[in-house]
Amino acid sequence: MEIEYARPYLTNYQRAIIDSPARFTVTEASTKVGKTASHIVWLFEQALQGGDGNEYWWVAPVFVQTKIAFKRLCRQVKSSAAHQWNFFKQNKSELTLTLPNGAVLVFKSADNPDSLYGEDVQAAVFDEFTRAKEEAWFALRSTLTATRGKCKFIGNVRGRDWGYKLAQRAKNGADPDYQYFKITAWDAVAAGILSRREVLQAKRDLPKHVFDQLYLAEPVDDGSNPFGYNFLQAAERAGLSGGSLASLGIDLARKVDWTAIVGLDSNGGTCRLDRFRKDWGQTKDTIRALPDVPTTIDSTGVGDPILEDVQKGRRNTQGYKFTQISKQQLIEGLAAGLQRGEVTFPKDTPLADELYSFEYVHTRTGIRYAAPEGLHDDCVMALALAYHQFRHQPPKPTARAKRVRVKSATNW
C-alpha cells in the first residue's frame, strides 16, 4: 500500500538536524524549541521506508515522558495522513504504532536499561538523554549494531555527566559518524516558535544558572551541584592513585542500585573503586575479604544486620545511618574536602559521572541531596563515607621516643 504523507512545516534548524547524513546526531537544546516534534517527524519518516516487522524506537528516561511522545506522534500522524489513519494499528497499552507497511514504532522507557536489550532496531531517538542512565545508551547501542541503525539524541544541558561528554565528543568533530547541534531559545525566537517576551520573562523569573541551562543550552559552573565543577575538575586524576589503602567507605545496594566500595589512601586519593550487584551473602563475603583498614558502612535499614555480620573479625568497621540530616552533613563534608583539595578521584569512571550529576534541591523540610531521577549516587555516597572515615580516624601512632638517661651535673 502506498502511504500519502506530507511533511509538516519545520524550521531551518529542525530540518538541518533531521536531514543530517550523520549516523548519530547529538542536539543540546533549549526547552520548548520543537526538538521533540521534529524528531517525531524523523522517526516516522524512517519507519515509512521500513518493512514488515522492522522496529523504530523512541526512548525516554521515564514512562511518563515516553507516553507523552507517543500521544504526540499519534496526533501528528492523524493530521498528516488523516484519510489513511484507519490503516495504522495503535496499541495504547504497549505504546506501539504499526504502519501499513508493517514497520512498528515502539516507545520505550529507559528506567530499566536491561529491558532495552535483545531487539534489532532500525533507527532510534533518545529523548532527554541527559536525564537518563548511561547504561540505557549502552543497551540501545547494542540494538543498532546488526542494522547499523541511526540514532538521534535530544535533550537539555544538564550537568557534566556522560551526556555532556557525548555532546563534547560530537562537538569536537573527531568522529565522522557524529554531528553536533545546539539550539537556544533565541534561535526559536528568530524562527517564530517562542516569543521574545516569554523568554525575557523566564530570564527574570529563574536563577541565572537555571536559565542558562534550560534556555541557552549552556553548562553552568555549579548550578545545583554541591561540589562545584571547577573543584571536581581540579580533583580528577588519570586513574586510581596507587597509594596504600587507608580508609574504606561502603554504600549498600537498594532495589536496583549498586553496592559501591571506595578506598582512599593516606593522601585522600581514590585507590580502590568497586561497584557490583550481588546477593546479600556474596556482598558480605566481598566485604569480609577487604583489608581490615578503618571502614564505614551504610547501616541504614537492611544495612544494620549486614554490618553486625561483617564486624565479626574486623576490628575497624563502623556503621553510618542515613537520614536527611546525616546525609546532608556527609555530603557537605565531602564537598568541603574536595574544595580544599583533600580528595581526588579517577576520571571517566562511574564515580566521576555521579559526582558531576549529583545535585541538591530545596524542599519544605530543608535541602535534599541526591542523584537526578533515574541516575545513581552509590559511588558518591561510598566516597563520602570513605572521606568521613578518613577525617575522623585517629592518627597513626608515631615511633616511641627513646629514653635517654642524663647524669646530673652541678654546674648548669
Predicted confidence (pLDDT) per residue in 94-111, tens digit: 999 999 999 999 999 999
**d(Cα 115, Cα 95) in Å, to the nearest integer?**
15
Return the amino acid letter for 30.
Answer: S
Residue 407 covered by a domain = no
Structural domain containing residue 164: 12-216
- Residues 157 and 297 placed together within one structural domain of the fold: no
Residue 94 covered by a domain = yes
Could you say which of 216, 251, 267 is where a domain stops? 216
- Residues 258 and 372 placed together within one structural domain of the fold: yes
Could you say which of 216, 240, 267 is where a domain stops? 216
What is the pLDDT confidence band of residue 398, given thresholds at 50, 70 and 90?
very low
Residue 398 covered by a domain = no
Q: What integer is the mean pLDDT of 165-174?
A: 88
- Residues 381 and 240 placed together within one structural domain of the fold: yes
What is the pLDDT confidence band of residue 362, given thresholds at 50, 70 and 90?
low
Residue with the larger pLDDT of the pair 12 and 372: 12
**d(Cα 113, Cα 132) in Å, to the nearest integer?**
10
- Residues 68 and 120 placed together within one structural domain of the fold: yes
Q: What integer is the mean pLDDT of 266-285?
A: 94
Residue 56 covered by a domain = yes
Helix, strand, or coil (residue 95) = coil
Share of the chain above pLDDT 90, in %: 69
pLDDT at 152: 99
Q: What integer is the mean pLDDT of 284-292?
A: 94
Round to the nearest angstrom and report the end-to-end CA distance of the chain: 115
Q: What is the pTM of this model?
A: 0.67
Q: What integer is the mean pLDDT of 365-373?
A: 78
Q: Which helix (H) or strand (E) holds 250?
A: strand 245-251
CATH of the domain at 51: 3.40.50.300
- Residues 150 and 242 placed together within one structural domain of the fold: no
Residue 409 covered by a domain = no
**d(Cα 264, Cα 248) in Å, to the nearest integer?**
6
Return the amino acid letter for 225.
Answer: N
CATH of the domain at 262: 3.30.420.240
- Residues 194 and 252 placed together within one structural domain of the fold: no
- Residues 258 and 209 placed together within one structural domain of the fold: no
- Residues 212 and 240 placed together within one structural domain of the fold: no
Could you say which of 182, 216, 250 is where a domain stops? 216
Give tens-digit pLDDT for 339-356: 999 999 999 899 998 998
**d(Cα 401, Cα 295) in Å, to the nearest integer?**
30
Residue 222 covered by a domain = no
pLDDT at 408: 42
Q: Exposure string (b/e) for 240-274, b if CB count within 10 Å is 16 or more?
A: bbebebbbbbbbbbeeebbbbbbbbbeebbbbbbe
Q: What integer is the mean pLDDT of 188-211?
A: 93
Residue 314: all three cell numbers together: 574486623
360 forms beta bridges with 369
Q: What angle do CA 274, 277, 280 make, to 5 degrees?
A: 105
Residue 19 covered by a domain = yes
Beta strand segments in 16-116, E: 24-29, 55-60, 89-91, 96-98, 104-109
